[in-house]
Amino acid sequence: MATLNISLPEQLRDWVSTQIASGRYSSASDYLRDLIRNDQRVLMQDSQWLAAHLQARMTTPDQDFVASSAEDVKARVRQQLAKPE
């Protein structure tokens, strides 16, 4: 396993120590590995959502799209914001 040395401000080092003291993590390395895994998971989920969203749009027939100017879009947003919820 490779070693990585990092520098943290005292406030962050205290936070890591608190997480270890809570018993959830056995060491700073364990805590950082968990943070990295969670970050990877979130990025993968975001990437998969974007790919699915774009794929759905790419398969939409051109005639289903409506041409809108920037002014049209702004007017619609203003109307939506003006509606009481």
Task: Give the pLDDT confidence score for residue 62 in this predicted structure.
Answer: 85
Judge whether 75 lies within some domain.
yes
Give the whole-angstrom CA distance, residue 65 versus residue 68.
Answer: 9
Residue 73: inside a domain: yes
Range of the domain at 17: 10-82
Q: Is residue 4 domain-resident?
A: no
pLDDT (tens digit, 0 to 9) for every residue of the chain, 85 residues total? 889 999 999 999 999 999 999 999 999 999 999 999 999 999 999 999 999 889 888 888 888 888 889 999 999 999 999 977 6
Q: What's the domain count of the chain?
A: 1
Residues 78 and 70: beta-carbon distance below 8 Å: no
> Cβ distance 20 to 31 under 8 Å?
yes
Question: What's the pTM?
Answer: 0.58
